[in-house]
Chain A
Amino acid sequence: MILRRLVFWLVLLTAAAFAYLPVRGNNISLREDLILVAVAIILASNLNLMIGYTGYVNFGHIVFYGLGGYVGLYLATVRNWNLAVAALAAGAAVSVFAFLLGLAILRLRGAYFALATIGVLQAVQAFVSNFDPWGRSTGLYVEFTSYESLGGPVRALWVIYFLVIALMALSMILSLGIKISKFGLGLFAIREDEDAAVVLGVNATMYKAIVFSVSAFLPAVAGTLMFFKNGMIDPSIAFEFMLSLEGIVMLMLGGQGTVVGAALGPGLYERLRSWLLTSPRLSNFHLVIAGGLLLVVVLFAPGGLIGWLYRLWPRSQEVIE
């Protein structure tokens, strides 16, 4: 039972803290910091389902976030759908897209799959840049009046913040739920040795396509909310390759394959990045640091922070998932 897991309660506690801290004293700047952390956790946690659980490195994970943003914004602004419905529809549409894409490209393994995901990212970006209904390279804008449905712009930002925090908690609970399920066991078997897993009875083709699709859902929903909040979307910000890479760095830093690591890594990295970006001397330096960090992690702590904890104190594996 998931309710018996310590991590489940930790997730709820974290989400409650995220929700409460900026409200106390109406701290807008803290809220804006935390929403970025929350988005990073959503992206890394779902990416973890592919990289950490199934052993397939997806370099194009940001495609789901960007496409979700586009579909959701299109439905919410051009078609005037309710924001929540538009976000869920975007999640569903992107999941279906991921499922079909997964059936095709998940036949590839290792580096070939990773390369294919980069190709997908480039292809989707090129397609959207030329797609008329989505405004080609200028993208889509949110009319100021669209925020009225959420009670005006000021209140809208708070509503979106709470929704994103909820998505963050859901992402981590999803990760935990999969980890302790039969589905998760099948994924781990695929990660360890796909041929052996198939001979043991795991329908690897279907499992991989399903997890790929699942890993697309919450990022796509979050994409809708975040681009709605930002008021616009265009192909260069929606499908930023660098964000995809940073997602991998965050995950490796925290510890791939672990629920806590996929939240801890993004939390630390996002704070570090914000600090680097806003400090005048280092502002163009954050990717250098990201690269260096990835090297250090891969070389000295391939299991990330949580992997390191497991090594220091093996019994922690039973509690910290």
Chain B
Amino acid sequence: MRVFLKRRWANCPPYALALLLAASPVLAVQPDEMLADPALEARAREISRDIRCPVCQGETIDDSSAPISRDLRLIIRERLVAGDTDAEVVDYIVARYGEFVLYNPRATGLNLILWLAGPALLLAGVGVAVASQRRRIAPEAALTEAEEARLKEILKP
């Protein structure tokens, strides 16, 4: 196995492997970032789970190993230690990195369409279903007077 690997890497420049090994994965939240106060740390995690890494393909900063995500996680913790509320921390980040980093889009302005689309369609669906149900039953619901009379006649012993 070893010989085989050696042969395969014979053509690689010698620094290539070293570079690769140096770039090994950095775990998302690092132990050295974490706050000593468990309550504050839990709040930090809660916030960072809803913030998008600005440079990744669609990861939260809580999951991402990008350096900018680490910076953001540190900023969150700094703000929390400084006494900010959760909402203030999020505002602070949005002011600097834009709305894009919010995984929980704010229900303001036209974003309301996004939030209300589901409930609206549900109401519409129920409405259509009930309406077509009514229409379907209506002709059968009542007998005409002539039919009533005929029915009485039939049922007469």
Query: Are A and B co-members of a single complex?
Result: no
Chain A residues in the interface with B (C-beta under 8 A): none
The chain B residues found within 8 Å of chain A, CB to CB, are: none
